[in-house]
Chains A and B, each alone.
Chain A
Amino acid sequence: MVKNMEQTEKKYWGSIEELERLPSYTESLGKEFASPPEEQTITEMERRDFLKVMGAGMLLATAACSRRPVEKIIPYVNKPEEIVPGVASIYASTCFECAASCGLLVKTREGRPIKLEGNDRHPLNRGRLCARGQASILNLYDPDRLKNPVKIDRRPVAGALENSANKALRWDETDQQIKNAIAEAKNSGAKTVVLTGTITSPSTRRLIADFIAAVGPGSHIEYEAVVPEEVALGQTASYGQNVTPRYRFDKADVIVSFGADFLGTWLSPVEFANAFARGRQVEKGKMSQLVVCESALSLTGSNADEYLSVKPGDELIVALSLAHEIIVKKGLSFLAGRADVAQTLNGYDIDTVSRETGLEAAALRKVASALWKSRGKGIVLGGAVKAANAVAMQTAVNLLNSALENDGATIDYSIAPSNQAGSSQASLNDLIAEMNRGNVGVLLIHNINPLYSLPSSWGFAAALKKVKTVVTIADRLNETSAASDFVCPVSHYLEAWNDAAPQRGIHSIAQPVINPLYDTRSFQDMLIQWGQLTFFAGWYDYLKAYWQDQIYSAHNVAVPFGAFWEETLKKGVFEAIDRMEKRDRLAPPRDLAPTALSMLTHRKNPGNFGLTLYPSVSLFDGRSANSAWLQELPDPLSKITWDNYVSMAPATAKELSLNEGDVVWLKGSRFEVKLPVHIQPKMHSKSLMAAIGYGRKNAGSVGNNVGISLAEAQSAGGLLQWGALPVDSIVKTGVQVRLATTQGHHNVEGRPIIRETTFAEFRKDPHAAGAEMETLPTLWPRHEYKGYRWGMAIDMNSCIGCNACMIGCQSENNIPTVGKEQVLKGRDMHWIRVDRYYAGDMDQPEMNFQPMLCQQCENAPCETVCPVLATVHTEDGLNSQIYNRCVGTRYCSNNCPYKVRRFNFLDFRKELPQPLDLLLNPDVTVRSRGVMEKCNFCMQRIRSAKDKAKDEGRKVSDGEVLTACQQTCPASAIVFGDLNDPTSLVSKLKKSPRGYHVLEDLNVGPQVTYLAKIRNT
């Protein structure tokens, strides 16, 4: 192993403090805990008082202990046949946390949903789910949900929420008043407008149309901040087709993304991450190349094989230079003969662009030639949502995809295009104008929060005042509902019926898995009531009728509708068409419309710096800002929790003499904002970036005032812009804050824990990564595993660092959140974390992600130091942690080389507000203060699989136990199974030439095998 350590040329570092050996780093070395334990409640007490209390306490304790509190058993009156208390029921449904609409399986216990998992029969997400999807179950039990309809007196708009005029209503009163308002609007000739977020449900879309038809003049406006609506705008401009294509990443050999974060937040991230990983299975000889050209570092950018860092706004000319190289200079592709194309691309040759952007001409030529070599098997993506030149960017991308014949092959515009980006800020803009003209009588706002997300310069708040009746349909009193007349509480998506068609031919169903916790209704039921569409008994009736008329009848289904409906409910999804997944080409590449070329004008960024706003992987657009799980989920790149910040390159920070956490004042011509600084390697020196979704004022007790809202920053004139916002100056305010990062908590101290090589090297020699496993001698007797021996393999080549595993684990294992203060003290509780390491220089380092969890060591250092035997080796190879034995010495954590043990410094569960307790997994013990905890390979899942196998008199088969992290991993990077079974996948992976153990030379014998990362450079 020492040999390997010397061979490793790359130096890996977790933070700039570590690379530069700053005092904040060196002082933390050797410290196990960032701070000593503290008293839960601090009270001054004298010795005499102490003795008195002790005496009384003894008496009380002995008296109290003689009998446990009386518990009741309350059986059903009429037990539903399908429910067996103690046995989980699983229902298929659909996730509505974002417009991607992945398929779900909802695990319920005794009638309450406790865990979400991807539906493995769903063609979109194939059983996987992202962090936000996993966390959306927490919103169901959010104590801050609105529990009944509310009437708000909005005349004094400021502070309307605290207004005593807020009045709780009954539904019948609400219905009557809203119906009256609608009738009044109709009589006066004013419009009734339904403003919603992206709607992927075809039946809901139809219902809204029916509603508008019933209530008189009106319209339906769809607007969602984060969905990439410019893709369809670009398609319309280039090809005359208003379509958002389906991208087939598994078919792509070369992927070039200009700022589209398709692994993190762009369009359909779970589907894309899964397909991307399928296209990079090195053992099968498949390894796509990912080239990312961007100004603001994204999760996708951090996974790039080739990273082209440019000034904000320069992505476009890089794309044009690639087109110039292929079409004009080399004269390749069917567009080569077109004079107008050559004319437009004139002046964008690689040498000129290279001079302008500072990128190496050779690197650009390499990308161009790789693209041409893989024509028909490449994807060029244009990205960052709402850049100033977004449509131009899309046109350039379309030009490339057409020239490279990717269009119609990896880019499916005809068979199953996407419905996940329905949004139009132009029509929202028109709506605001119409509201100002007083033409809107009733405005229904659902699933969108414009008073939070829109800049005040758009005048939405002022326009709202001109609307007679504003109804917000929301799950809480949010920023927008504060300025409306009625707030109608909407059921969580797990409490209501719904459906979704995220792509043509995929019909996904959502069924209620719990009765509404409060007096809430589905959005659709409200429309049926208010539109008096009473020929339907309710939304369920409408939905079923829609399915019968529109879906069942349109396709040749062999069974009667009743059976079809039952079967679809069971499966969760109906695939109406053959998506031709196996086929390489679906349609011919389209020719670019001549008019499109006029779009391709490059505007230079006028500002000194360019600020990019981005939806973060955890908070997205801020809709679930009240979710403590998401707030405490570290950002994949910065590893910062509970805050947003402005990221800048180390060179920029040095030049402006800024340190991590310095609050700066960003001044542009149209906005000013104060944000703390985060120094982010890999950023361009003229680029700044900051996450939206923070700074909510009315999100709830968790999410209020966390971070700073950047809504005002997007108002760079005209349409909303998120990319390349000009910033003239960065002023240091002198204030410094501590950003709660989790990466600095544990230090590698230069040990080689990452193994990697290039694809070319790997093909020559599979052992090129220097990964090697040997059995070292040990003084300890080896354990004997007679039955199972559980082990895990983690493929670092697949892992994209998206953090879905962390929330999957948190949800499964009742892991508490601790809050910013405690994270600052290093007391985050995640059992699995994803470590991010840089390698190389500070400005353009390579990035690596490494999921780290308990390694279930053979010679476990934790086991030998526990004075009370609370952590012992089990007969199937796990380091068990027995909570009821643990006395909290923390010796085990001190001795753990992987730093994966988590200590309950405080009783994080004591004040769990109702109904959050309903979310707890009854198969996992809830830990209290003073107890150590850690990953146990989802012991409860192993036990339940064993239980089933024993019933059937067999052994647990391979793949039967899925740990929560493995189950949800979009990239299928985690494999779990029996190492005693030589045919199991995990046994085979353990023998892989890429396999290695982290810190193997310590001879602790980890049961987790990591597979070396391969870069396709």
Chain B
Amino acid sequence: MQLNRYSVFPATDQLTWHFPGKLEKNQGASNLVSKKLIAVGGIAFLVLAGAVLGFWRNLGDNTGYSPEQPIPFSHKLHAGDNKIPCLYCHADATRSRHATVPSTNVCMNCHNVVKTDSPLIQELTRKFKEGKPIEWVRIHDLPDHVYFSHKRHLAKQIKCEACHGNVAQMDRIVQDKTLLMGFCVNCHRTNKGPNGEDQKGPTDCTTCHN
């Protein structure tokens, strides 16, 4: 199921603001009303401020994003059950900064003969024959001012799962990690190589921004 964290206001459990309980003490009857007003106003203000702050903490966080795709392609079936390696389809990941979504002819390598009776595959074949591309909805999407290279990360033997989660278990792809700057920088600061050796990434701003 899609995680429901896209409401306008974020979940309040993330708030770390506590209302100080001092107002309960030493309150005179005469200024009770005004103090009540202050209290209500204060609470309202703090809730709002907290909401805004909490919202900002998650600004740009798309974790859980899992839109419907034009063809309900299942990574669980392909990568999980049938154990097709990620790089069979996302072949450019080792050559380019983009992992790239495979072109339709890659699908047709197998689906020329596999499951040709399925209406979805027939739809795919039809599009292929008509020369029409499939318009997938982008999920893992870094801002335009970020430079990220799949090639460099794969060369350092970073696992695909480190950023994309356990894709082999996803029927429909869902964004598993925040992919916010903190997520990137934490890994660059602490990453260990396959044998536990120190393998930190650079943390210069220009590593990712220019």
Contact = CB atoms under 8 A, between A and B. Distances in A.
B100 A85 contact: yes
Q: How large is the interface on B (under 10, 10 to 19, 20 to 34, 35 or more residues)?
A: 35 or more
A875 interface: yes
Contacts of B145: 883-884, 925
Given A884-B145, A947-B149, A939 B210 contact: yes
Interface string B154-196: 0100000000000000000000000000000000000000000
A706 B100 CA distance: 45
B205 A70 contact: no
Contacts of A580: none
Given A66-B7, A943-B147, A75 B103 contact: yes
B95 interface: yes
A642 to B, nearest CB: 30
Nearest to B92: A84
B170 to A, nearest CB: 17
A77 B132 contact: yes
B142 to A, nearest CB: 10
Interface stretch (B29-37, B54-62, B74-82): B54-62
Interface string A870-884: 001011001010111
A277 to B, nearest CB: 31
A68 B65 CA distance: 11
Contacts of B7: 66
Given A76-B103, A85-B96, A86-B92, A71 B144 contact: no
A940 B104 CA distance: 31
A65 B62 CA distance: 10
B133 A66 contact: no
Given A77-B103, A875-B204, A950-B152, A86 B134 contact: no
B152 A939 contact: no
A73 B104 contact: no
A936 B133 CA distance: 38
A882 B210 CA distance: 6
A883 B209 contact: yes
Contacts of A923: 147
Contact of A878 (B6, B147, B155, B206): B206
B131 interface: yes
Contacts of A74: 133-136
Interface string A52-83: 00000000001101111011111111110000
Interface string B73-109: 0000000000000000000100111101111111000
Nearest to B52: A62
A87 interface: yes
A924 interface: yes
Contacts of B149: 947
A874 B209 CA distance: 12
Contacts of B98: 85-86
A200 B9 CA distance: 67
Contacts of B131: 77-78
A173 interface: no
A644 B55 CA distance: 55
B103 to A, nearest CB: 4
A213 interface: no
Given A75-B136, A78-B103, A79-B105, A68 B60 contact: yes
A557 interface: no
Contacts of B143: 884
A87 B96 contact: yes
B117 interface: no
A923 B210 CA distance: 9
A872 to B, nearest CB: 6
A72 B155 contact: no
Contact of B136 (A62, A72, A85, A878): A72
Interface in A955-1003: none
Contacts of B60: 65, 68
B8 interface: yes
A24 to B, nearest CB: 38
A644 B128 CA distance: 56
A882 B97 contact: no
A558 B106 CA distance: 40
Nearest to B131: A77
A942 to B, nearest CB: 9
Given A74-B135, A84-B95, A947-B149, A925 B209 contact: yes
Contact of B128 (A65, A77, A940, A947): A77
> Which residue among B97, B104, B155 has the maximum number of chain A CB atoms within 10 Å of its CB?
B97
Contacts of A883: 145, 209
A335 B111 CA distance: 85
Secondary structure dominating the interface of A:
loop
A805 B102 CA distance: 39
Contacts of B104: 75-78
Contacts of A878: 206
A923 B101 CA distance: 20
A73 B138 contact: yes
Given A924-B210, A939-B206, A62 B92 contact: no
A925 B67 CA distance: 27
Interface string A140-181: 000000000000000000000000000000000000000000
Contact of B138 (A70, A78, A79, A875): A70
Nearest to A63: B8
A774 interface: no
Given A70-B137, A73-B136, A76-B104, A940 B210 contact: yes
A924 B146 CA distance: 10
A878 B210 CA distance: 12
A951 interface: yes
A787 B39 CA distance: 59
A614 B112 CA distance: 66
Contact of A75 (B101, B144, B204, B206): B101
B103 A950 contact: no
B100 A75 contact: yes
Contacts of A71: 137-138, 141
A950 B95 contact: no
A65 B59 contact: yes
B92 A85 contact: yes
Contacts of B138: 70-73
Contacts of B127: 77
Nearest to A78: B105
A916 interface: no
Interface in A557-574: none
B202 interface: yes
A70 B138 CA distance: 7
Contacts of A951: 155
Contact of A882 (B100, B144, B205): B205
A363 interface: no
A954 to B, nearest CB: 14
A872 B207 CA distance: 13
A885 B133 CA distance: 37
A872 B100 CA distance: 33
Contacts of B55: 62
A70 B135 CA distance: 11
Interface in A74-126: 74-79, 84-87
Contact of B210 (A78, A925, A947): A925
B158 to A, nearest CB: 14
Nearest to A873: B204
Contacts of A72: 135-138
A883 B145 CA distance: 8
Given A74-B133, A75-B100, A77-B104, 8 more contacts: A72-B137, A77-B103, A77-B132, A79-B105, A880-B205, A885-B209, A943-B147, A951-B155
Closest 8 CB pairs of A and B: A86-B96, A79-B103, A76-B103, A86-B98, A71-B138, A939-B210, A880-B206, A73-B136
12 contacts: A72-B137, A73-B101, A73-B138, A77-B133, A78-B103, A78-B131, A86-B92, A87-B95, A884-B143, A925-B144, A940-B147, A947-B152
Interface of B: 6-9, 55, 59-60, 62, 65, 67, 92, 95-98, 100-106, 127-128, 131-138, 141, 143-145, 147, 149, 151-152, 155, 202, 204-206, 209-210
